[in-house]
Amino acid sequence: MRPEKALRWLEERGAEAEIYFTRREHSSVELKRGEIELVESGEEHGFAVRVLLGRRMGFAHGNELNHELLERALSVARVSPEDVHQGFAYPSSYPCVEGMFDPRIEGLQLEDVEEYTEALLAPALERGVKITQATIAWSTEEERICNSLGVEAEQRGTEVYAHLSAVAGEGSDVATGMHFSCSRQLDLDFEEVGDVASALARSSLGAERLETGDYPLVLRPIAVAELLESALIPAFSADNVQRGRSVLAGRLGEMVFGEELTIVDDSTLDYGLESRSFDGEGTACRRKVLVDRGVLHCYLYDLYTARKAGVESTGNALRSSFASPPKIDSTNFIIQGRGGLCEEEALVVHGLIGAHTSNPVTGDFSVETRNAFYDGAPVRKAIIAGNIYELLSSAAGFGKDITRVSGVVTPSVGFSKVRVVG
């Protein structure tokens, strides 16, 4: 059944409706000891249907768009509670975003990836470190959405990913290193990924314990992203704000961080890893300044929370798959700041372990360092604990190494004295 026919069928039964379709083709190779040991490829596709009977919302999903799927959505709507804030997106013009799709990735075959795997592994072999895991993955995805109000939109995207983990040393002195990179275009520097991981493993040998104390701290981009994704980003969700699960609730216009810090969520960033023209509800995407020089300006909304707040959706209703309803999330979460970075007598941390255990309601975190160096010398794993709001309020400098790490775009960030348990 075509989506247009499905919409008419539902409208004849007194329902407004929205039909979403996605198809994703993905492939990956995993390498161990320099040999390809695992090759995976697959295709996933499906439809999601949301219907409104009065103000009762129903949701159903399946691999085929047929009468059974439509009836399931109607059945759910009939038993759902009424809610005046439910509704669908109206038609609008969608922005043109550069760099979302690269036909070179769509056409990649296994034999084409051989040169990339060689480049990924070469630095580890040159540095004499052991490769514990290496992965190259690529995918193509398309999305379509239409609804009873006249929305009709489609978009396509590609992505390529490379990762390498390495081990250096032997006996009692062993160190690991890990690095990864991702892009919407086939422009990844595979050799650099392998080189950074191998260099981290080699330079982390001979690590010594760091005395417990207060130290200047520098988090490299991957470490910044790991911490923000769990401890901070959920606080900007209007759903969490309205449910009282965010420290930022009721604080619009207030200084929540130091004046050096600005945070932007930009769904239309050219070549951004989370860029898109429209969100999972068909709302046009745009750039939003969340924090301007420390002052909170905006939350992230979907249609439902926007109607509750009496504002417009920010286009941040995202879908993890066709099997899940849209949910508020950030897109390209961009960290900007003023002031240079000083690394002298500072603890420089390339990665964190345990960031996912952070408390997104309070912002409290306790993490272990990965590949950390003090004054250039490697240190054993140490614990950094604190509160993300207090930490970001002490931001003392920003590097020039702006990096796209999943949905976070950030440079290295330096902080004034931070408690470190060695």
Q: Name every residue whose Cβ is closer than 8 Å to that of residue 283 and which is 6 or more positions away in sequence.
A: 89, 92, 302, 303, 313, 315, 317
The whole-number pLDDT of residue 349 equals: 97
* Residue 311 tokens, joined: 């504002």
**Which of 190-194, 337-341, 369-373, 383-387 is predicted with the least confidence, judged by mean pLDDT?**
337-341
Is 94 domain-assigned? yes
Note whether 198 and 231 are same-domain residues. Answer: no
Whether residues 188 and 218 share a domain: the answer is no
Please tell me the number of Cα atoms within 13 Å of 353 on its side-chain side.
10
- Do 297 and 389 fall within a single domain? yes
In angstroms, rounded to a whole number, what is the distance separating the alpha carbons of residues 235 and 229? Answer: 10
CATH classification at residue 27? 3.30.2290.10
DSSP string, 102-139: -HHHHT--HHHHHHHHHHHHHHHHHHT-EEEEEEEEEE
**pLDDT tens per residue across span 166-176:** 999 988 899 99
Give the per-residue pLDDT at 339: 82
- Is there a single domain that holds both residue 260 and residue 190? no
Q: Residue 387: inside a domain, yes or no?
A: yes
Range of the domain at 321: 213-421
Pick the closest to residue 186 from 302, 82, 104, 73 (CA basis).
Answer: 104
- Please check whether residues 120 and 235 belong to one and the same domain: no
Let me know whether 131 and 226 are in one domain.
no
Is 253 in the same domain as 274?
Answer: yes
* pLDDT tens-digit series, residues 190-241: 999 999 999 999 999 999 999 999 999 999 999 999 999 999 999 999 999 9
Listed residues 203, 228, 258: the one ending a domain: 203
**Angle value at C-alpha 255, between 254 and 260, nearest 5 degrees:** 150
With respect to residue 351, please indicate whether it lies within any of the assigned structural domains: yes
**Are 183 and 307 in the same domain?**
no
In a domain, 144, yes or no: yes
**Any domain includes 208:** no
**Residue 325 CB-density burial (10 A; 0-12 exposed, 13-18 middle, 19+ buried):** middle
Residue 180: inside a domain: yes
Do 99 and 231 lie in a common domain? no
Position 396 in a domain: yes
User: Which among 183, 193, 197, 201 is positioned nearest to 119, based on CA atoms?
Assistant: 193
- The answer to whether residue 123 sits within a structural domain is yes
Residue 37, pLDDT > 80, answer no
Q: In this predicted structure, what is the pLDDT of residue 344?
A: 83
* pTM recorded for the entire structure: 0.95
Looking at the predicted structure, is the pLDDT value of residue 95 above 70? yes
Alpha-carbon Rg for the chain, nearest whole angstrom, is 24
pLDDT, tens digit, for every residue of 348-357? 999 999 999 9
By three-state DSSP, how is residue 28 classified? strand
Band (39; pLDDT cuts 50, 70, 90): confident
Per-residue confidence (pLDDT) for residue 296, from 0 to 100: 98
- Parallel, antiparallel or unpaired: strands 395-398 and 16-32: unpaired
**DSSP 3-state of 284:** strand
Going by pLDDT thresholds of 50, 70 and 90, the confidence category of residue 338 is: confident
Does one domain contain both 369 and 232? yes
Sign of CA dihedral 88, 93, 95, 101: positive
* Last residue within a domain, chosen from 203, 236, 270: 203
The answer on 134 and 54 residing in a single domain is: yes
Q: Are residues 305 and 407 in the same domain?
A: yes
Q: Where does the pLDDT of residue 417 fall: very low under 50, low under 70, confident under 90, or very high at 90 and above?
A: confident
> How many domains does one find in the chain?
2
Choose one of 203, 224, 248: the last residue of a domain: 203
Going by the DSSP 8-state scheme, the letter that residue 341 receives in this structure is -
Q: Identify the CA nearest to 22 among candidates 52, 48, 50, 49.
A: 48
Does the pLDDT of residue 264 top 90, yes or no? Answer: yes
CA atoms lying within 13 Å on the CB side of residue 221: 20
